[in-house]
C-alpha cells in the first residue's frame, strides 16, 4: 500500500499545512453549491483554475477527479426497468455465453473463445440492450464479448441452439449437418452478413471507426443526404485496448466537432490479456485525464450502490483517499480474494477506514460491487451520456474481469486465457447466480432459454420492441445508383490522341466530370489525408467545398485565388489532415453507407500509395470484412516515379498487399484510357450491381503522351492484360513477349523498339493492368479443370494470350512478387524484373537504371532468356552490356 501521509500515491497530493483554512474553503464551496446549484459551483472552480494558471501553479491541479462515481446518488434518478428481471436475464446471458465457449473447447479442444471479458461486461451490455441501444443506433462491440451478444440473440430467437453449438465452427461438418450456420469468433460482417454491422476483432480499430462514423453521420446530415440527427453511435471497448494508437487517434476530432452523438463505454476491468493494464498506476484516472484533455465529457462508474452508505458516512474522505492511493495491481489482487482478505489487506490498513466498515461482515464486504456490475449506476451514466450536449461522452465503468467465475478466473492473471471451468467451478457459478440448472445440466453444458410466456422472455421482447427491434443487424443492399455513360466524363482519356498528362491528373479530371452528374455527383465522397494540391485537386475546393461543420470562420490567405481554400458546412470534400488512419476510417464509413444508412455512395480516397496498405493495412482489412465499396487511389505510385523523395515515400509493394485482400481488386494502369475503363467498370460493379468489393488503383505523377484506346481493347483491359503492340524486326532471328504495367510499361515499349532495331528480335508488348486479376481468373480456371476432369478444359486469359514457348519478360515498378503472381500459369520461360530493395533519391531515369527495370535492362533480360533457350548465341547478351554501357553493380539493388 502506498504511503498516504507523504503523498506518494497516484494523487501525489500536497501536504495540508493549514487544515482550518482548507475547511473554510471547502465549506464555502459546499454552501455555494447548496445555494446556487452545481452549475454555479462549476463556474467558480473554472474561474479558480484560470487564476491558478495565471499564478503559475496549475501543474499541481490534476486533470482527473477523485476516485469515485461522477454522478452523486441524488442525480441517479429512478431506474425505469424491472431490476429483478434484468438481473435474471443478465445471469442467463452469462451462462449461455460461458456454455457456448466451453462446449466448443470441450468438444474440439482448440477452438479458443473467451469467457472473462463478457463476464465483466454483461451488465454494461444489458443496460444498453434494454434501455439505450435503439435498432437504428450503431454499436461497436468489444470483440472478446461476442459470445454474450450471441447469447442474447439466442434468447431473442434470432440464433438457434444449433448455431450456438457451432460457435467457431464455420467450415467443419458433422454427419447430417449442412454447410454454414456456424458463428464467427468475433464480429465479422463478411462471415455473418445479416448480423454483425462492424468488425472490431482487431483491437483499436473500433474506437477510431466509431469516431469517424459519428462524424460521417454529421457530414450526411449537413449535406442533406440522410437525416441522422436521431441516431447515436455507441462503442463498448476494453481499457487495455486504449493502448492501441488508433484507439485515441480520433479523440480530439470528436471533441473539436462536438460529436454529442457519440458515446464510448470503456470496460475497465483493469486487466489486459496477461495482467494488469496499469499495475503500478490507475488506468481509470489515466483515461479520465486523457479524455478530459481531449475535450470529452467523462462519467466514471466505479462503485456500486452498496458503497453509497459508506461514502455518505465518510465525511473526512478517508475512504476516498485510501481508494485513490491503491494501484490497479493491488485492486486486481483484492478483486481475486474474499471478504476476509479485503478486510485485512485494505480496510484495516487505516483505522478510520476500518471504522467505516466495522458493522459489516466478511460476506457483506465480499458482496460489495464495482460500479460496472450495478445496473442502477450504469443506467444513470448511460442516461447522462445520452442527454449530454455539445461534447462526446466516455463512460469509464469499473468491473472485474471474469466476474462470477470465482477462483477459476475472477480478477486472475490467467482469466483471459480461461476457456474451461471444472464441474465444481460451474456449481459455484450456478449457486452464486441462482441459475435454474441441475447438476446434469451443468455437466452437459446445456443452454437455457426460459419459456416463451415467461416474465423474462416477455420483458426481453418488450424492451427491444420499445427500442425499435433487434440489434445487431445488418442490411445488405441499398437502392442501386446509376453511373453516367463513360463518354460523358472519360472521352478525353479514351481519345487522348497523344496528349500529355499523368494518370493522376486524368483521375482528378474524371472525378470532376463525375461530380457534375446530377444523380451520381452528390453521392461522391472525395477524401484526402492532406496534399490535395499535390494531387491537382485544388480545383475541387471551389467546386464542391471542404466539409467543416462550422463553415469558414476566417478569410483564407488565398481568398482572391481561383483555387482558394473554401470550407463549408455542406462541403463535399473530406480533407482529414495528416492522418491516414482517420482518412481510411472516413472512407470506410462512406464505403459502407449502403448498409449502415441505406444510401449508396462512391467514396474516393486519394493518397500517396506508400502510405496506404503499408501504413493502415489493418484498417483496410477491416473495411474488407465490412464489405466496403469504393475507390482507393494510390497516387505517386511505384518505386521510381517519385523522383527525389527517397526510401520512405517510394512504394514498391502496395499492389502485392492489395492482391492479398480477397475482395480488393488491384489495378496498375499505365494509360489514361485504361484508367477510364477501369473506373467505369468498377463504379458499375459497386453501384449498379452492388458487388461487395473495392478497387485499388495506382496513379502516376509522370506526364507523358497518352494514346487513344480502341473500344475492342476494353474487355481485355478489364481481364488484366491487353496486347498493346507488335514490333516486327527485319530478318527476325527470334521472338519474345514483353509485359509491362504502370510506370514501367513505357520502358518496356522502348525496349521492344531496341530489340527490333539493334538485335533483330521481334516482340509482342502487353499492357498488364492487373497481375492479380489475371492470377485470380487463372486460379479459378485451374480449380474448375481439376474438379471437373470430364468436362471440356477451360483456358485462362493468361494462357490464351501467352500460348507457345516464346520467352516472357515482365517488368514493373513493384517488387517481383507482383508479376510473379502469374508465373505458374505461363508455360514458357518467364523472367520478372522489379524494384526489390529500398528506395533511393534520384531522377526517374537513374532510379530505373538502379533497380534494373529500365529499357536496357529489359532488353538484356530478353536476350539472356533467348540465349538460355538456345535461340541466339550467348555472346549477344555480353554485346548488349557493352553497347548500352551497362556496368553491373557489385551488389544487386535489393541488397544495396
Three-state secondary structure of 786-849: HHCCCCCCCCCHHHHHCCCCCCEEEECCCCCCCHHHHHHHCCCCEEEECCCCCCCCCCHHHHHH
Closest CA relative to residue 130, chosen from 92, 96, 80, 84: 80
Segments of the chain with pLDDT less than 70: 1-14, 57-62, 108-109, 172-180, 406-420, 889
pLDDT given at position 52 = 77
CB 198 within 8 A of CB 208: no
pLDDT given at position 786 = 94
Q: Is the pTM of this model over 0.95?
A: no
Name the DSSP letter for residue 660.
T
- 567: helix, strand or coil: strand
Name the DSSP letter for residue 235.
E
CB 240 within 8 A of CB 272: yes
Q: Which residue pairs from 187-192 have beta carbons closer than 8 angstroms and sit at least 24 positions apart in sequence?
A: 187/141, 187/143, 187/146, 187/149, 187/472, 188/625, 189/474, 189/595, 189/625, 189/626, 189/627, 190/624, 190/625, 190/626, 190/627, 190/663
For 236, the enclosing helix (H) or strand (E) is: strand 233-238
For 499, the enclosing helix (H) or strand (E) is: strand 499-501
**Residue whose cell numbers read 555472346:** 875
All cell numbers assigned to 720:
488484366
Q: For strand 499-501 and strand 704-706, is the pairing parallel, antiparallel, or unpaired?
A: antiparallel
Q: Which residues contact 105 (CB under 8 A, 6 or more apart)?
A: 111, 112, 113, 419, 420
Continuous H helices in 223-338? 245-249, 251-256, 283-294, 308-313, 318-324, 328-336
Phi, psi for 847 (deg, rounded to 5): -65, -40
CA dist 40 → 30, 389, 478 (Å)? 11, 18, 50
Cα 828–chain centre separation: 43
Closest CA relative to residue 499, chosen from 669, 705, 701, 746: 705
pLDDT given at position 116 = 83
CB 11 within 8 A of CB 324: yes
DSSP per residue, 315-354: TT-HHHHHHHT--HHHHHHHHHS-HHHHHHHTGGGSHHHH
> CA 830 to CA 690: how far, in whole Å?
37
All cell numbers assigned to 415:
482469466
- 372: helix, strand or coil: helix
All cell numbers assigned to 388:
449530454
DSSP per residue, 373-392: G-HHHHHHHHHHHHH--SS-
Cα 448–chain centre separation: 35
pLDDT given at position 227 = 97
* Other C-beta atoms lying within 10 Å of the C-beta of residue 298: 21
pLDDT given at position 6 = 35
CB 749 within 8 A of CB 765: yes
* Other C-beta atoms lying within 10 Å of the C-beta of residue 258: 16
User: What is the greatest pairwise CA distance in the chain?
Assistant: 109
pLDDT given at position 138 = 98
> Mind spelling out the 3-state secondary structure of 621-635?
HHHHHCCCCCEEEEE
Bridge partners of residue 301, in order along the sequence: 397
Amino acid at each position: 500500500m502506498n504511503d498516504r501521509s507523504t503523498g506518494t500515491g497516484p494523487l501525489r497530493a500536497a501536504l495540508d499545512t493549514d487544515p482550518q483554512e482548507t475547511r473554510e474553503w471547502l465549506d464555502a464551496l459546499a454552501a455555494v453549491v447548496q445555494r446556487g446549484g452545481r452549475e454555479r459551483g462549476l463556474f467558480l472552480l473554472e474561474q479558480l483554475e484560470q487564476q491558478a494558471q495565471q499564478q503559475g501553479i496549475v501543474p499541481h491541479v490534476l486533470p482527473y477527479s477523485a476516485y469515485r462515481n461522477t454522478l452523486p446518488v441524488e442525480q441517479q434518478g429512478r431506474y425505469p426497468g424491472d431490476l429483478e428481471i434484468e438481473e435474471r436475464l443478465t445471469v442467463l446471458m452469462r451462462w449461455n455465453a460461458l456454455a457456448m465457449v466451453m462446449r466448443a473447447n470441450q468438444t474440439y479442444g482448440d477452438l479458443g473463445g473467451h469467457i472473462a471479458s463478457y463476464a465483466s461486461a454483461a451488465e454494461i451490455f444489458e443496460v444498453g440492450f434494454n434501455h439505450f441501444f435503439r435498432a437504428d443506433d450503431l454499436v461497436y462491440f468489444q470483440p472478446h464479448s461476442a459470445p454474450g451478444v450471441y447469447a442474447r440473440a439466442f434468447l431473442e430467437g434470432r440464433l438457434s441452439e444449433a448455431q450456438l453449438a457451432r460457435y467457431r465452427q464455420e467450415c467443419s461438418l458433422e454427419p447430417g449437418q449442412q454447410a454454414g450456420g456456424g458463428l464467427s469468433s468475433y464480429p465479422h460482417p463478411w462471415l455473418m452478413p445479416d448480423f454483425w454491422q462492424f468488425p472490431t476483432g482487431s483491437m483499436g480499430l473500433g474506437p477510431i471507426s466509431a469516431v469517424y462514423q459519428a462524424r460521417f453521420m454529421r457530414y450526411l446530415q449537413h449535406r442533406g443526404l440522410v437525416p441522422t440527427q436521431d441516431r447515436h453511435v455507441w462503442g463498448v471497448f476494453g481499457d487495455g485496448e486504449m493502448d492501441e494508437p488508433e484507439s485515441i487517434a480520433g479523440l480530439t476530432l470528436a471533441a473539436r466537432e462536438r460529436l454529442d452523438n457519440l458515446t464510448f463505454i470503456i470496460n475497465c476491468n483493469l486487466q489486459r490479456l496477461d495482467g494488469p493494464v496499469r499495475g503500478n498506476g490507475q488506468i481509470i484516472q489515466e483515461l479520465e485525464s486523457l479524455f478530459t484533455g481531449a475535450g470529452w465529457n467523462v462519467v466514471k462508474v466505479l462503485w456500486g450502490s452498496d458503497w453509497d452508505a459508506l461514502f455518505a458516512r465518510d465525511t473526512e474522505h478517508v475512504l476516498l483517499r485510501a481508494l485513490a492511493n491503491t494501484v490497479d495491481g493491488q485492486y486486481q489482487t483484492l478483486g481475486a480474494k474474499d471478504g476476509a482478505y479485503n478486510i485485512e489487506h485494505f480496510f484495516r490498513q487505516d483505522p478510520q477506514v476500518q471504522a467505516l466498515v466495522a458493522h459489516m461482515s466478511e460476506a457483506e464486504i465480499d458482496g460489495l460491487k464495482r460500479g460496472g456490475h450495478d445496473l442502477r449506476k450504469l443506467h444513470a451514466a448511460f442516461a447522462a451520456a445520452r442527454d449530454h450536449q455539445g461534447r462526446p461522452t466516455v463512460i469509464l465503468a469499473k468491473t472485474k474481469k471474469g466476474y462470477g467465475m470465482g477462483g477459476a478466473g475472477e480478477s486472475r492473471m490467467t482469466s483471459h486465457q480461461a476457456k474451461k471451468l471444472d464441474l465444481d467451478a460451474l456449481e459455484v457459478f450456478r449457486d452464486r447466480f441462482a441459475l435454474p440448472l441441475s447438476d446434469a445440466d451443468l455437466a452437459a453444458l446445456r443452454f437455457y432459454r426460459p419459456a416463451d410466456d415467461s416474465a423474462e422472455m416477455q420483458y426481453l421482447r418488450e424492451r427491444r420492441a420499445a427500442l425499435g427491434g433487434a440489434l445487431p443487424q445488418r442490411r445488405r443492399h441499398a437502392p442501386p445508383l446509376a453511373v453516367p455513360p463513360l463518354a460523358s466524363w472519360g472521352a478525353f482519356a479514351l481519345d487522348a490522341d497523344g496528349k500529355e498528362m499523368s494518370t493522376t491528373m486524368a483521375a482528378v479530371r474524371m472525378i470532376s466530370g463525375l461530380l457534375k452528374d446530377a444523380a451520381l455527383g452528390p453521392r461522391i465522397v472525395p477524401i484526402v489525408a492532406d496534399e490535395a494540391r499535390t494531387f491537382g485537386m485544388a480545383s475541387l475546393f471551389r467546386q464542391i467545398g471542404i466539409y467543416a461543420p462550422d463553415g469558414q470562420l476566417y478569410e483564407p490567405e488565398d481568398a482572391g485565388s481561383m483555387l482558394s481554400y473554401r470550407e463549408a458546412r455542406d462541403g463535399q470534400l473530406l480533407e482529414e489532415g495528416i492522418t491516414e488512419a482517420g482518412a481510411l476510417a472516413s472512407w470506410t464509413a462512406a464505403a459502407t453507407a449502403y448498409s449502415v444508412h441505406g444510401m449508396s455512395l462512391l467514396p474516393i480516397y486519394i493518397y500517396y500509395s506508400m502510405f496506404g496498405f503499408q501504413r493502415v493495412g489493418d484498417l483496410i482489412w477491416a473495411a474488407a470484412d465490412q464489405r466496403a465499396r469504393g475507390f482507393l487511389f494510390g497516387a505517386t505510385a511505384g518505386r521510381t516515379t517519385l523522383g527525389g523523395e527517397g526510401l520512405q515515400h517510394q512504394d514498391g509493394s502496395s499492389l502485392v498487399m492489395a492482391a492479398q485482400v480477397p475482395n480488393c481488386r488491384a489495378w496498375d494502369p499505365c494509360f489514361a484510357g485504361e484508367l477510364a475503363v477501369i473506373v467505369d467498370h468498377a463504379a458499375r460493379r459497386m453501384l449498379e450491381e452492388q458487388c461487395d468489393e473495392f478497387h485499388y488503383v495506382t496513379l502516376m505523377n509522370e506526364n507523358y503522351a497518352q494514346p487513344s484506346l480502341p473500344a475492342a481493347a476494353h474487355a481485355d483491359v478489364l481481364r488484366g492484360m491487353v496486347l498493346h503492340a507488335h514490333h516486327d524486326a527485319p530478318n527476325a532471328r527470334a521472338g519474345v513477349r514483353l509485359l509491362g504495367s504502370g510506370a514501367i510499361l513505357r520502358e518496356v515499349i522502348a525496349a521492344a523498339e531496341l530489340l527490333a532495331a539493334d538485335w533483330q528480335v521481334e516482340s509482342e508488348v502487353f499492357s498488364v493492368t492487373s497481375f492479380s486479376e489475371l492470377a485470380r481468373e487463372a486460379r479459378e480456371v485451374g480449380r474448375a479443370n481439376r474438379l471437373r476432369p470430364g468436362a471440356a478444359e477451360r483456358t485462362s486469359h493468361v494462357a490464351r494470350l501467352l500460348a507457345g514457348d516464346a520467352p516472357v519478360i515482365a517488368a514493373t515498378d513493384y517488387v517481383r512478387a507482383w508479376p510473379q503472381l502469374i508465373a505458374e500459369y505461363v508455360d514458357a520461360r518467364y523472367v520478372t524484373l522489379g524494384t526489390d530493395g529500398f528506395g533511393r533519391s534520384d531522377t526517374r531515369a537513374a532510379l530505373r537504371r538502379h533497380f534494373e527495370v529500365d529499357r536496357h535492362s529489359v532488353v538484356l533480360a530478353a536476350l539472356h532468356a533467348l540465349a538460355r533457350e538456345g535461340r541466339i548465341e550467348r555472346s549477344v547478351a555480353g554485346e548488349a552490356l557493352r553497347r548500352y554501357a551497362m556496368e553491373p553493380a557489385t551488389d544487386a539493388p535489393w541488397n544495396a
